[in-house]
């Protein structure tokens, strides 16, 4: 259905934790349209197994949580952001409990688990499927509010800026987004006073990723094309333990399995190797564990390594990780008795669109929250369970800033409709599939966990060649979701490689054999369009 421009005041791109938190915060003040690519539950939020980090334990302090986040982030975090998020965490948990999230309890108090990099138990969780519970509660709340319209099946193409105004302006002011209605094939202009990007990360740039199918960096690419700076795109987090199974893609074995005593072993010799790499062994930060797993696999020519928690009480294991336990049983693996085969996989995009503490981007009228952003929280490596937290805190911050500055935002001008007068339907979908596969493969091989300048330059060469091909294809054919995603994947791949070549040191998630040392000063890699 075509929606008239005046129907909504704020356009939100993404229906995960960040987008829905913003929508719910705004809904008492204005009319909100939430656009989702595919299903409303298709984002990363629903996939989050671990939980949400917050200082709730008597012996824990904000300072401890701030320090743990800074240490994991290898000095690249912005301290004021870390303080802001950590101090707002208990409030975020309270809001979720009010919305009906039934966090696990023990003797009347919230049950807190511990994960790698944390000095205290501070992870609230709903079994090992926190994301599903959070996504469901947010959706219920949003669906019940008359001022929120949820519209699935919308693939966003480009942000609407001043140059799309009927009277044309080079202001860079954002007025919404052009989106493809996947059911009808029509492109609509969704216009509002303010726009919030909450579209998630760019994990699908890689061949092996725990990210959902739709994590193609759409928001990062759209913001870049519209004129926003992006920061630290080389900081791609690889989760150390993704299930190795040729039939099942992207099944994550949560960090908490190691937190509760799971150990990593060489699958042939049974040697426990993590103490050889780091005194914190299995509880070292993710980047260290992922590199160790990658090193074992490459050095010994393995397909996978083993994660073993079978020496713990079977009832404890099955009770703590019911979803993982059940899933593995269907694949013939009993984690209470045998080890789990695991490999590293891309897991989280720590870089993204640069924002301030109000969620504002460089462009007037455009806000962003969650994995699409680089807020300064994660630095060079995200601490476990800080990701959902960032979504709640910045989703609310952006919404509150919009409400406070409502009158200054002004009503949208007349906007040109989408122009497809010069394009035809594609007769070569195979081109898209081929290029998509190629990008993901060379990004995994050349821009993965361990990098070299030569490999990065090879990737850059491939990107340059593909950019011409994809650009020409995009100019000639009608948009489809696959074409939109391919264009965005390629754009994000280019930003990642450019950032990685720029950083002449190894810090956090960016590890290069050509510059193995840490530079004296931690400096963000900021790219300007």
Q: What is the Cα–Cα distance from 195 to 368, expressed in whole angstroms?
A: 8
286 catalytic residue (yes or no)? yes
Beta carbons within 8 Å of 241's beta carbon, 6+ residues apart: 252, 253, 255, 257, 258, 289, 293, 307, 340, 342, 344
Total residue count of the chain as it appears in this document = 529
Beta carbons within 8 Å of 162's beta carbon, 6+ residues apart: 168, 169, 170, 171, 172, 173, 175
In three-state secondary structure terms, 332 is: coil
Which single residue is written with the structure tokens 């074995």? 253
The whole-angstrom distance between residue 343's C-alpha and the CA centroid of its chain comes to: 19
DSSP for 451-490, written as a single string? B-HHHHHHHHHHHHHHHHHHHHHHHHB---HHHHHHHHHH
What are the CA-CA distances from residue 465 to residues 305, 439, 448, 469, 471 (Å)? 36, 11, 20, 7, 10
DSSP secondary-structure letter at 185? -
Classify the C-alpha dihedral 394-399-402-403 as positive or negative.
Answer: negative
Q: What is the Cα–Cα distance from 291 to 344, expressed in whole angstroms?
A: 8
In three-state secondary structure terms, 176 is: strand
Locate 266 and state its tokens: 């060489």
Q: What is the Cα–Cα distance from 207 to 205, expressed in whole angstroms?
A: 7
Catalytic residue among 286, 291, 503, 507: 286
Q: What is the Cα–Cα distance from 481 to 483, expressed in whole angstroms?
A: 5
Q: What is the Cα–Cα distance from 133 to 288, expressed in whole angstroms?
A: 30
Beta carbons within 8 Å of 440's beta carbon, 6+ residues apart: 204, 205, 206, 207, 489
Q: Give the phi and the psi of residue 208 in degrees, each rounded to 5.
A: -110, 120
Pick from 27, 32, 34, 36: nearest CA to 9? 32
In three-state secondary structure terms, 79 is: helix
Give the angle subtended at the CA of 387 by the CAs of 241 and 146, to the nearest 5°: 130
Pick from 98, 99, 103: nearest CA to 50? 103
- CB atoms closer than 10 angstroms to residue 398: 32
Write out the catalytic residue numbers. 286
């Amino acid at each position: 259905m075509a929606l008239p421009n005046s129907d909504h005041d704020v356009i939100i791109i993404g229906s995960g934790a960040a987008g829905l938190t913003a929508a719910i915060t705004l809904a008492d003040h204005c009319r909100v349209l939430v656009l989702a690519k595919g299903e409303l539950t298709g984002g990363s939020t629903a996939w989050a197994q671990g939980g949400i980090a917050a200082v709730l334990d008597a012996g824990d302090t904000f300072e401890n949580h701030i320090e743990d986040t800074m240490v994991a982030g290898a000095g690249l975090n912005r301290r004021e952001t870390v303080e802001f998020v950590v101090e707002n965490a208990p409030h975020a948990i309270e809001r979720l409990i009010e919305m009906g999230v039934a966090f696990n309890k023990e003797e009347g108090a919230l049950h807190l688990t511990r994960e790698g990099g944390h000095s205290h138990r501070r992870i609230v969780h709903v079994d090992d499927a926190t994301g599903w519970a959070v996504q469901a509660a947010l959706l219920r709340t949003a669906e019940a509010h008359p001022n929120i319209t949820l519209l699935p099946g919308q693939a966003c193409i480009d942000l609407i800026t001043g140059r799309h105004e009927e009277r044309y302006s080079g202001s860079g002011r954002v007025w919404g987004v052009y989106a493809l209605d996947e059911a009808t094939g029509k492109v609509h202009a969704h216009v509002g006073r303010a726009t919030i990007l909450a579209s998630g990360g760019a994990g699908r740039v890689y061949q092996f990723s725990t990210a959902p199918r739709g994590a193609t960096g759409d928001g990062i690419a759209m913001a870049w094309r519209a004129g926003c700076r992006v920061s630290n795109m080389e900081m791609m987090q690889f989760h150390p333990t993704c299930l190795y199974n040729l039939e099942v893609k992207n099944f994550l074995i949560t960090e908490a399995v190691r937190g509760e005593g799971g150990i990593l072993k060489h699958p042939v010799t049974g040697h426990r190797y993590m103490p050889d790499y780091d005194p914190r062994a299995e509880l070292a930060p993710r980047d260290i564990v992922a590199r160790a797993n990658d090193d074992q696999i490459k050095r010994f020519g393995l397909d996978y390594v083993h994660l073993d928690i079978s020496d713990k009480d079977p009832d404890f294991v099955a009770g703590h990780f019911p979803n993982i336990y059940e899933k593995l049983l269907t694949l013939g693996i009993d984690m209470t008795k045998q080890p789990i085969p695991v490999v590293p996989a891309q897991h989280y995009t720590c870089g993204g669109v640069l924002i301030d503490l109000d969620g504002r981007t460089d462009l007037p009228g455009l806000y962003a929250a969650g994995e699409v952003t680089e807020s300064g929280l994660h630095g060079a490596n995200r601490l476990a369970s800080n990701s959902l937290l960032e979504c709640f805190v910045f989703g609310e911050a952006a919404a509150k800033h919009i409400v406070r500055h409502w009158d200054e935002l002004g009503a949208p001008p007349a906007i040109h409709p989408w122009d497809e007068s010069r394009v035809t339907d594609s007769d070569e979908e195979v081109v898209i599939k081929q290029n998509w596969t190629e990008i993901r493969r060379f990004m995994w091989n050349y821009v993965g966990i361990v990098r070299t300048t030569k490999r990065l330059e090879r990737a850059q060469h491939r990107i340059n060649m593909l950019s011409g091909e994809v650009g020409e294809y995009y100019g000639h054919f009608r948009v489809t979701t696959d074409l939109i995603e391919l264009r965005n994947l390629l754009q994000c791949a280019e930003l990642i490689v450019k950032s990685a070549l720029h950083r002449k040191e190894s810090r956090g998630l960016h590890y290069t054999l050509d510059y193995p040392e840490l530079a004296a000063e931690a400096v963000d890699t900021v790219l300007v369009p």
